[in-house]
Amino acid sequence: MNQPAIARSWVSHANGHSDFPLQNLPLGIFSRGSEAKRCGVAIGDAILDLEAVLAMGFFEGQAKAAVLATQGGTLNAFFALGRAARVALRERLLELLGEQSEHQAMLEGALYPASTCQLHVPAQIGDYTDFYVGIEHARNIGKLFRPDNPLLPNYKYVPIGYHGRASTIRPSGTDVRRPKGQTLPAGQSEPSFGPCARLDYELELGIWIGQGNDIGQAIPIGDAAEHIAGLCLLNDWSARDIQAWEYQPLGPFLSKSFVTTISPWVVTAEALAPLRCAQPPRPQGDPQPLSYLLDKRDQAAGAFDIELEVLLLTERMREEGGAPHRLALSNTRSMYWTVAQLVAHHSVNGCQLQPGDLFGSGTLSGATPGSYGSLLEITEGGKHPVELPNGEVRKFLEDGDEIILRARGVCDGEVSIGFGECRGRVIAAN
Amino acid sequence: MNQPAIARSWVSHANGHSDFPLQNLPLGIFSRGSEAKRCGVAIGDAILDLEAVLAMGFFEGQAKAAVLATQGGTLNAFFALGRAARVALRERLLELLGEQSEHQAMLEGALYPASTCQLHVPAQIGDYTDFYVGIEHARNIGKLFRPDNPLLPNYKYVPIGYHGRASTIRPSGTDVRRPKGQTLPAGQSEPSFGPCARLDYELELGIWIGQGNDIGQAIPIGDAAEHIAGLCLLNDWSARDIQAWEYQPLGPFLSKSFVTTISPWVVTAEALAPLRCAQPPRPQGDPQPLSYLLDKRDQAAGAFDIELEVLLLTERMREEGGAPHRLALSNTRSMYWTVAQLVAHHSVNGCQLQPGDLFGSGTLSGATPGSYGSLLEITEGGKHPVELPNGEVRKFLEDGDEIILRARGVCDGEVSIGFGECRGRVIAAN
C-alpha cells in the first residue's frame, strides 16, 4: 500500500472533509428499498456496492474471495478470512476508487448516494462483551461511591469486562425506547416500577473480532492484534436508576440490555494503522501488566490516537433549528488497556472468540471536565445539571434528546479517518 | 393428548426405567459419523431420525411444518413456531411410537441406538442469560460473606441475572479444560497467574426460549409461559478463585466463560406439563412480587417439581470400577421465581428475546446439607472437604473428576420424565 501521502478519489466528495476519504474505505452492510442486504464501502458521501462491482468482474483472487465472503448480508465470513483478505480487498479498492482509475464510468453504476441507502448491523454478533478500560471513567464513577479510593484493587491488573446483550445491538439512527424497570427511590426500602428517570449514554469504542480461536486455546498477546478486524463507535445506553438497584451482586443487566447503538461502518485495522500510537506511559507506581498481557510491540504501537466527540440535540434545539451541543471531546488514549490486551485477556481462560463478536471498550472519558463520556460523570450523578446554550438544563436524558457520537483520527497530517455517526434519539416509554 | 395413564411404546426399552418413555419425546440435534446434523427424538435407548421419518411421508400439516423447521441442524426455527407446532409434532409422534402404531416396521429403519449417535447443542444460542433464582444457594453463598445478612436487599424483588457467554456452551460429554487466570492468593496484594485452583460446578436448570419478542415490547407475565419451548440441565462450571478477584464491580466474567455444559435433549413444555406445581408459598414477611411479575395462574401452576441430582466420578473411582458418588439431591421447587417470571422480567425493559436463547436458573440448592448444588456450598468455601466413599477427599474439583447432573420428575404416578445426563470431565490446564 505505498500510496502517495494524499491519494485522491474520483468520487470528489471523498477529497473534502468527509469521514470517508480514499484512505478509509470502511465496510458495511446496506440495502436500498426492499433489495437484499449486501456489502458496501463508504467513499465520501456515497456507497460502492461490492456485489455489483463483483458482477462487473472487477475482483480477482483474494479480493474476489473477500467479496464472496460478504454475501448473505453479514460480514462474519469475511471477518473469518483475516487480514490478508482485507488487505487484498483494500488494495483493489484503492485502485478502483483512486483518481487514476480507468473504470470510473462503469463503477458509477455501482455507486449510490449514501442518503438513499439503509445501513445495518454489519455482522451477526455471536457474543458482545463490554469492557471498562477507560480509567478516567472508572475513577470518576468510583469517586461517586468511594471518594478516597475510587479504583478497586483489581482495576490495574484485570481488564475488567462483562458479558453484554447481543440481541439489542442496533445501527445508528434507531430510536431508543426509554426502558421501564425496578428502581429504589431515595429514602425508600421498597422498589417502584416505572420508566427510567436517569437515562444516560456512554461513549465507547466498538471492536470487531476477525479470526477467532478454538475453545480452550488462548490467543497469545503477540498474536492478539491480528484478531481485530476493525472498529466502530458504540453507545452503551444506561438506565442508572435501574442499574443502581439491580447490579449487586452479578453486575449490570436490564439497565443496559434495552438497546446498544453502533456506528454501522467497520473502520478496518488497515485504515487505522496510521492512527496507532504507543500505549501512554503508566503513572509511577502502577503495576507492570502480567506477562500474558505484555508485548513490546503492543506497548510501542498498540494504542490509538482517535478523537471522540459526544453531541446532544434536544427536541427544542431541533425545533429552533439549532446545532447540536458538544457535551464532550475525548480520545481513545484514555484506554488503560490496548485492544490486543482485551483479546488476550478474554481468551486466556480458553473462552472462544468468534468472527463477528463485538467488544465495547467501556466509557472513554478524559481526565478533565469537557471530556467526560457520560452524563453520570458530567452532572456528578445529577447533582450539577448541564446548562445548554439555549437555556435548557439536563441532569439525565429527556424524551426527544438525540445523542450523536463521532470519531476521527488524523492520518498523514491532512487526511482524517472518520467513523461516521452513531446516533440515537430517546423516545417515550410505552 | 388424552393418552391413557401409562401409554406404552413399541420401542420396548422406553417402557422400562428409561429417562425417555413415550410420554417424554424430547427433541435434539444429532449426527452419525460424518452425516449432517439433524433433528431426532429420544425414545428409550434409541433416537428416531425425524428427517428420515419425514422422507417416509409420515408427517402432514403442522407436524410436517414443525419437522421442516428443524432442517439445517438447529431447532431455532422450530422454536420460533411456538406451541401449536410442538403439540402437533408431539401428537403425531405419540401415534407413530405408541404400541398401537401400524408403522413399526418402516419406522425401525429410522431408529438408531443412541449409543451410535453424537448429540449436539440443539440451537444456535443467540444470547445466554444466567439467573440466580435458587434462594438457598444465594443464602448459602451470602452467608460466606455476610453471615448475619446473607441475602442482599434486592434479592426478593428482582429476579437477579446477568449475561453469560454463548460461544462456549457445549453438549454433555465435552471435556472441561481447567482454565487459567488471575487470582489473588490469600494474604497477597498482587495477583498471580496460573491454573484455577478452586474449580467448581453449579447445578442448574436450562430454559430454552421459544417464540421471542420485538425490541421495546415487554412480554406480559400472563403470556410469558408460552415463550418457553422446553428445559434441559446446565452445569455452570465456575472458577471460584478467578471469580473472587475479577467480579467487582461488573460481575462474573472469565470465571464462567471457559465452558458451560448442557444436556442435549430439549424436554418440551408439553412433556413437563404433568410436573407443574404451585409456586411454593413465600415465607411470612417476604414481599409480594411487583405486579409485572404477578399472575394468578403462574402462582398456581408455574413451578416445577423435578428432582435434581449431582454425581461425582473421580479418576480413581473409574479405575476401581466404582459407581459415581452422589454429591447432592435437590429439586426445582427451590426456585424463588418461576420461568415465566424470568421471561417477564428479562423483557420488561424492552430487551428482545429470540428463539433459541438460553437461560440458566442459577444454582438450585436445597435448604439442607445433601442438597447443595456446588462444592463452594458443600465445603463452605473449601473449609470442610467432602469425604468420598473410597477415602478420597475434595475441596474443589481435581483433574479427572467427572460431574454428572441428572433430573427426573414423576408423571402420572408411575412414568418418570427424565432429562438424560449432563456430564463433563475436568482435564488439565494446557
Nearest CB among B127, B179, B190 relative to A349 is that of B179
Higher-confidence residue: B257 or A5?
A: B257
Q: Compute the distance between CA of residue A304 and CA of residue A275 in angstroms, rounded to an integer.
A: 6
Average pLDDT over residues A337-358: 98
The pLDDT tens digits of the residues spanning B347-366 come to: 999 999 999 999 999 999 99
CB contact under 8 Å between A251 and B251, yes or no, is yes
Whole-number Å distance between alpha carbons of A340 and A361? 12
Question: For residue A245, what is the nearest residue in chain B, using CA coordinates?
Answer: B154
- The shortest C-alpha distance from B149 to chain A (Å) reads 14
The partner residue sitting opposite A190, judged by closest CB among B161, B287, B351, is B287
Residue A128: closest CA among chain B residues belongs to which residue? B165
Who has greater pLDDT, B139 or A146? Answer: B139
Are the C-beta atoms of B292 and A193 separated by less than 8 Å? yes
Comparing C-alpha atoms, which of A218, A203, A232 is closest to residue A352? Answer: A218
Within an 8 Å CB–CB cutoff, is residue A153 touching chain B? yes
pLDDT at A250 over 90: yes
- Chain A residue numbers touching B190 (CB-CB < 8 A): 157, 287
- Alpha carbons B199 and B207: distance in angstroms, whole number: 24
Interval A314-343 mean pLDDT: 97
> How close B136 gets to chain A, by Cα (Å)?
15
Q: Collect all residues of chain B within an 8 Å Cβ-Cβ radius of residue A123.
A: none
**B154: nearest CB among A132, A248, A353:** A248
pLDDT of residue B137: 95
pLDDT exceeds cutoff 80 at B5: no
Evaluate if residue A4 carries a pLDDT over 70: no
Alpha-carbon A256 to chain mean position:
16
419425514: which residue's cell?
Answer: B54
A241: left (phi over 0), alpha (psi -120 to 50) or beta: alpha
Q: What is the pLDDT of residue B149?
A: 85
What pLDDT sits at residue B148?
85
Q: Which residues of A touch B251 (CB under 8 A)?
A: 162, 247, 249-252
List residues bridging with A416 in a β-sheet. A410
pLDDT at A343: 98
- Return the closest-CA partner of residue A186 out of A254, A251, A245: A245
pLDDT category at B386 given cuts 50, 70, 90 is very high
Separation CA B64–CA A403 (nearest Å): 48
Which of the two residues, B305 and B6, has the higher pLDDT score? B305
Task: Say which of B13, B103, B120, B137 is annotated catalytic.
Answer: B137
Residues whose CB is less than 8 angstroms from the CB of residue B153 and which lie 6 or more positions away in sequence, other chains included: A184, A189
Distance from CA of B162 to the nearest CA of A (A): 5
Instruction: Say yes or no to pLDDT of B229 above 60.
Output: yes
Distance CA A316, CA A293 (A): 48
C-alpha separations of A37 from A73, A85, B94, B354 in Å: 5, 21, 43, 21
> Where do the DSSP E strands lie in B270-354?
276-277, 303-304, 307-313, 325-331
Percent of residues, chain B, with pLDDT higher than 70: 99
Angular region, B73: left φ>0, alpha ψ -120 to 50, beta rest: left
- Vertex A143 angle, CA A424 and A235, to 5°: 15
| B180:A291 CB<8 A | no
Most A CBs within 10 A among B145, B189, B250, hence the mutation to make, goes to B250
Question: In angstroms, how far is the first alpha carbon of chain B from the final one?
Answer: 52
Cell 478519489 locates to: A9
Residue B236: pLDDT over 60: yes
Q: What angle do CA B131, B136, B141 make, to 5 degrees?
A: 80
Q: Which of B376-392 are b and which e, b meaning 16 or more Cβ less than 10 Å from the residue's Cβ?
A: bbbbebbeeeeebeeeb
Going along chain B from its start, the domains and CATH numbers come out as 12-120 (2.30.30.230), 128-427 (3.90.850.10)
Interchain CB contacts (distance < 8 Å): A and B: 190
Supply the ipTM of this predicted assembly.
0.96
* SS3 category, B69: coil
pLDDT attached to residue A301 = 97
Considering only CA atoms, which of A276, A320, A324 is closest in space to residue A425?
Answer: A324
**A225 and A340 in contact (C-beta within 8 Å)?**
yes
Which chain A residues are within 8 Å of B348, Cβ to Cβ? 180-181, 254
- Contact at CB, A161 and B250, closer than 8 angstroms: yes
DSSP alpha helix (H) spans, B98-170: 104-107, 135-145
Nearest to B127 among A166, A245, A251 (CB): A166
- The residue-averaged pLDDT of B241-250 equals 96
To the nearest whole Å, the CA of A430 is away from the closest chain B CA by 8
- Segment A279-300 shows an average pLDDT of 96
**B246/A351 Cβ within 8 A:** no
Residue range A279-301: mean pLDDT, rounded? 96
Examine the residue annotation and report whether B137 is marked as an active-site residue of this protein: yes
Q: Residue A5's pLDDT is what?
A: 56
DSSP assignment of A26-62, as one string? -EEEEE-TTSPPEEEEEETTEEEEHHHHHHTT---HH
Instruction: Calculate mean pLDDT across residues B320-334.
Output: 96
Is residue A148 less than 8 Å (CB to CB) from chain B? no
Q: Does A351 touch chain B (CB under 8 A)?
A: yes
d(CA B194, CA B65): 51
Average pLDDT for residues B377-395, to the nearest whole number? 97
Q: Is B159 near chain A, with CB under 8 Å?
A: no
Burial letters A347-361, b for 16+ CB under 10 A, else e: bbbbbbbbbbbbbbb
CA distance B267 to chain A (A): 25
Grid cell in block for residue A172: 445508528
Which candidate in A103, A120, A137, A227 is catalytic?
A137
Q: Is the dihedral of CA B51, B56, B61, B62 positive or negative?
A: negative
- How many C-beta atoms surround the C-beta of residue B13 within 10 A? 16
Chain A contact probe: residue of B349, B357, B358, B376 with most A CBs at under 10 A: B349
- Facing residues of B119 across strands? B30
Above 70 in pLDDT, residue A2? Answer: no
B349–A239 CB contact, under 8 Å = yes
CB within 8 Å: B248 and A287: no
Verify whether the Cβ–Cβ distance B165 to A127 is below 8 Å: yes
Q: Does A346 touch chain B (CB under 8 A)?
A: yes
- The pLDDT of residue A411 is 76
pLDDT at B83 over 70: yes
Q: Which residues of A touch B255 (CB under 8 A)?
A: 349
For the packed helices B83-97 and B61-68, what is the interaxial angle rounded to 10 degrees?
100
d(CA A172, CA A265): 10
Residue A185 — very low, low, confident or very high, per pLDDT cuts 50/70/90? very high
* Backbone torsions φ then ψ of A364, nearest 5 degrees: -105, 80
Nearest CA in chain A to B179: A349
The pLDDT value given to residue A396: 98
What is the rounded average pLDDT of the residues A190-213?
Answer: 98
Chain B CB contacts of A349 below 8 Å = 179-181, 239, 242, 254-255, 257-258
Grid coordinates representing A255 are 439497565
> Cα–Cα distance between A214 and A212 in angstroms, integer?
7
Predicted local distance difference test score (pLDDT) of residue B412? 67
Residue A75 above 60 pLDDT? yes
**What is the chain B residue with the closest CA to A244?**
B154
- Count other C-beta atoms under 10 Å from residue B8's C-beta: 17
What confidence category does residue B301 fall into, taking pLDDT thresholds of 50, 70 and 90?
very high
Residue type for position B119 = L
Instruction: State whether residue A406 sits within 8 Å of chain B by CB.
Output: no
Residue B35 CB neighbour total at 10 angstroms: 11
The residue-averaged pLDDT of B206-235 equals 98
Q: Does B143 touch chain A (CB under 8 A)?
A: no
pLDDT of A6 higher than 90: no
Shortest Cα distance, chain A CAs vs residue B421, angstroms:
22
Position A145 scores a pLDDT of: 80
Interchain proximity A161–B218, CB inside 8 Å: no
- In the three-class reduction of DSSP (H, G, I as helix; E, B as strand; rest coil), residue B175 is classed as coil
Q: Residue A414's pLDDT band (boundaries 50, 70, 90)?
A: confident
Q: Tell me the pLDDT of chain B averaged across its residues.
A: 96
DSSP, collapsed to helix, strand or coil, labels residue B244 as helix
From CA A254, how far away is CA A161, in angstroms rounded? 16
Which residues in A lie closer than 8 A to residue B181 (C-beta atoms)?
348-349
Provide the chain A residues 169-228 that lie in CB contact (below 8 A) with chain B: 170, 177, 179-182, 184, 189-191, 193, 215-218
The secondary structure of residue B14, as a DSSP letter, is: G
Name the residue among B57, B172, B190 with its Cα closest to residue B117. Answer: B172
> From A252, which residue of chain B is nearest by alpha-carbon distance?
B250
For residue range A252-269, what is the model confidence (pLDDT) as tens digits? 999 999 999 999 999 999
- Which residues have C-beta within 8 Å of that of residue B353, sequence separation ≥ 6? A167, B127, B209, B212, B213, B219, B227, B343, B346, B347
Confirm if A204 and A391 have CB atoms less than 8 A apart: no
- The answer to whether the CB of A139 falls within 8 A of the CB of A336 is no
Out of A126, A162, A182, closest to residue B167 by CB: A126
